[in-house]
Amino acid sequence: MRPGWKTTALCLGALCAASAAAPLRAQVPPVPQALRDSVANPPKAQGSGAMRFLETHIDAGRIGEDDLPPSYTFRWTNDGDAPLVITRVETTCGCAVPSFDRQPVLRGGEGSVTVTYHPKRHPGNFHRRIFVFTQLSAQRPTAILDLTGHVTPSSALPAADYPYAMNGLRLKQREVRMDGTQRRTERIACLNAGRQPLRISADSLLLPPYVRFECEAATLEPGATCDLIFRFDPAKAPERLPEQVPVILRGLGLPPVQSTVRILFGERPRPETEYMKQTEKQKRIP
């Protein structure tokens, strides 16, 4: 942003901050609405209609705060009678970094402005304005563009608490244990750390009749958490249960070997019991 605009924006911020911090100070005048509008939506240069953009607004959708910075391209055509040259491009935030070709675009020719958005430390909804200046005016932009979207904050994605990854799905654990003698419900907490909604189900053809699976959320949106629920019915179980039952999750875009969680049956072995078993094995080694 050129120096005059930066000074005006800083003055606006200082006046607003002073008004919020000390609303009873009569010496701080209110900021005129016209002045605020002139900074956010300045008048365009005379003859700006010569620069015709195919679209002046791009919705970036959802971006993860830890994602690599994505780029978005605004394409335009010179509908005027003389060549147009982009002299500079300014944005309302340093997180939106513009790039453009400085070569003249002849009548009927095409050009573009690309904006790379850096989401780190900018969570939440965003609306960035891009001001495109040409030789038509050094003070007034020839075109004003908009880039909007939503950055999913890292704080909403505590991936460290969900150490097991299955593509975008993160799990707190990959197995649950049941004693196999009474009706039981166990859960695995999970997080959608990806950028697309997930609809999670299980391969029901491979589940025995005494095990039922359901996902707490019909659709798990990006950044949301829910539980994977496992129910055991002893009335439908055989007299002798297997040590474990695999549950293959669907909707993750992974092969079964990478999308399987397990239900373990029986009491958890005590550490000393495992130690004794290992000792007995070592004794039998000649």
List strands edge to edge, sheet with 57-64: 57-64, 143-152, 124-134, 86-91
pTM: 0.46
Angle between helices 33-40 and 3-21 in degrees, nearest 10: 140
Write down the pLDDT at residue 281.
52
pLDDT of 44: 92
Place of tokens 């990959």: 174
Give pLDDT, residue 282: 54
pLDDT of residue 149: 95
Q: Which pLDDT does position 278 carry in this prediction? A: 56
Q: Which pLDDT value is given to residue 25?
A: 34
Q: Quick one: pLDDT at residue 153?
A: 73
pLDDT of residue 267: 82
User: What 8-state DSSP symbol labels residue 29?
Assistant: P
pLDDT under 70: residue ranges of the chain: 1-40, 154-159, 270-286
* Burial class of residue 29, CB neighbours in 10 A (0-12, 13-18, 19+): exposed
The Cα-based distances of 285 to 209, 277, 278 in angstroms read 42, 13, 11
pLDDT at 160: 73
Strand (E) or helix (H) holding 178: strand 175-178
